[in-house]
Amino acid sequence: VSLVIDGQERLCLAQISNTLLKSFSYNEIHNRRVALGITCVQCTPVQLEILRRAGAMPISSRRCGMITKREAERLCKSFLGEHKPPKLPENFAFDVVHECAWGSRGSFIPARYNSSRAKCIKCGYCSMYFSP
């Protein structure tokens, strides 16, 4: 079920989650939505009633998040599409400016990045690794 809100076709995120993405948890869907930069707009009480009557939302629901049709397609494709992220060469790096006691030039090495504390910036002066 979709509604046109402010000139954009929007879909009920809960309905998408309960049908197309039912094999994924709420947290997985929420985290992916945030990672993709998809904003969720809460519908008005009148819009919620329309969604209830159309069967998109249970009668007991008190609110409903709406995303654009394009965002819904992106979200679903990110879970259901057969896509493989591009592989970077093992030695891929790019120059960055960093702060340490010896200098400010270094290289960011994506292959070493697995958390915000990962030591993935190699100082160009002392060759030590630092985290972002």
pLDDT tens by residue, 73-101: 999 999 988 666 667 787 888 888 877 77
- Average pLDDT for the chain: 88
Break the chain into its structural domains and give their ranges. 2-80, 94-130
pLDDT value at 130 more than 90: no
Distances (CA, A) of 107 to 40, 102, 125: 37, 14, 11
Per residue in 27-52, pLDDT (tens digit) is 999 999 999 999 999 999 999 999 99
In angstroms, the CA 33 to CA 72 distance is 9
CATH fold, domain 2-80, is: Mlu1-box Binding Protein; DNA-binding Domain (3.10.260)
Q: Dihedrals φ, ψ of 128, to 5°?
A: -80, 155
HSE of 93 in the Cβ direction (CA atoms, 13 Å)?
15
**Consecutive H or E run containing 89:** none
Question: Does the predicted model carry a pTM greater than 0.95?
Answer: no
